[in-house]
Structure 1
């Protein structure tokens, strides 16, 4: 689904990232419903301002492509069922 949606919205889909044991509690959601944890590219850290930190600055420029991609994932999944 990720690849199909990325192709439709002309988004770059990376598959060269190493697996991660990020400190999210998403596994609890997956115990209830099937799903996937997705990293939406926000760019490199700036001045050590990490995610969930007080100096973190979200890259608002990614919102149009990220929301378009998410909508395509939903539409593709719904049309497959």
Structure 2
């Protein structure tokens, strides 16, 4: 399955599953990152250590380790 870190810049995806521990999952949900939500990838850091995404009108920076736990499918 494809994860959020695999997506290129300007890619739009739908969240399929969150494979995160309970605390991280709750934090992601509070940002609007949950099953069926639409995410747009805005930017990758040069070393791909972080990824900037847009969920709704909010911009969020995620660590690569966090983005690897979010399964997505392209739309």
**TM exceeding 0.5:** no
**Which has a greater percent of strand?**
2
Identify the TM-score tier after normalising by the shorter chain: under 0.3
Q: Which has the higher contact order (CA 8 A, sep 6+)?
A: 1
- Of Structure 1 and Structure 2, the greater helix share is in 1
TM-score (norm 1): 0.23
